[in-house]
Chain A
């Protein structure tokens, strides 16, 4: 059963860049679409964007000016960079896999456990 694990700094200063990595275990990153989703404390879920293993991306328009998602198939990882962060970017960040093989189905069947990122000086 494929597993996902997020990693990265838990604390980021305002105006700096948040960087997270999602590692894929017991499965291949190939053939799938991979998303980042976040959840501010006590609030709902917000989709950040996705990347196909070949590198095609699609971002939430509300974040697109600050977001970059990349993939490293040799390491079975994909990454998130969010620049110019503020306190409003404080959230639990999840990585997840779209259920479709070689196609985007629009729902996510495998999720990481999430990692908390706090933006504070």
Chain B
């Protein structure tokens, strides 16, 4: 099973600042199968990015994704008040049952 480790666990930033979130895998992940989600309290996750660097429908361009192999990054260029939330990376592998989420990074207001 591919384990995804997200860091930091919590990121304390101010609106307008840049956020850089890391997702590291224990084995190589196809860039086609790496996604990011945003989750706010009491809500379902929302798809942000798919195939590493593609924004989902309606996602503003301040969100960007990059990476390959075992290291992936989600960047929020300038934090807006609505961006404070928990972010999860997720991968899908070819072997049966291989869909896993990272533990999440909470982006909180400093």
Interface positions of A (Cβ within 8 A of B) = 35, 44-47, 49-50, 58-61, 64, 94, 96, 99, 104-109, 111-114
Known: A105-B50, A106-B33, A107-B90. A47 touches B99 (CB 8 A): yes
Query: Smallest CB–CB gap between A58 and chain B, Å?
Result: 5
How would residues 4 to 29 of chain B score, 1 for a CB under 8 Å from any chain A CB and 0 otherwise?
00000000000000000000000000
Residue of A nearest to B4 (CB): A44
A64 CA / B35 CA spacing, docked (Å): 24
- Chain A residues with Cβ under 8 A from B46's Cβ? 111
A91 CA / B24 CA spacing, docked (Å): 26
Known: A44-B88, A109-B56, A114-B44. A58 touches B97 (CB 8 A): yes
How would residues 31 to 50 of chain B score, 1 for a CB under 8 Å from any chain A CB and 0 otherwise?
01101010000011111001
**Once the chains bind, are A45 and B88 in contact (CB under 8 Å)?**
yes
B103 within 8 A of A: yes
**Once the chains bind, are B100 and A47 in contact (CB under 8 Å)?**
yes
The size class of the interface chain B forms with chain A is 20 to 34
Query: Smallest CB–CB gap between B61 and chain A, Å?
Result: 18
Can you give 8 contacting A-B residue pairs, CB < 8 Å?
A35-B99, A44-B102, A45-B37, A47-B90, A94-B44, A94-B45, A111-B44, A113-B43
Known: A58-B97, A59-B97, A61-B1. A108 touches B104 (CB 8 A): no
A99 CA / B96 CA spacing, docked (Å): 18
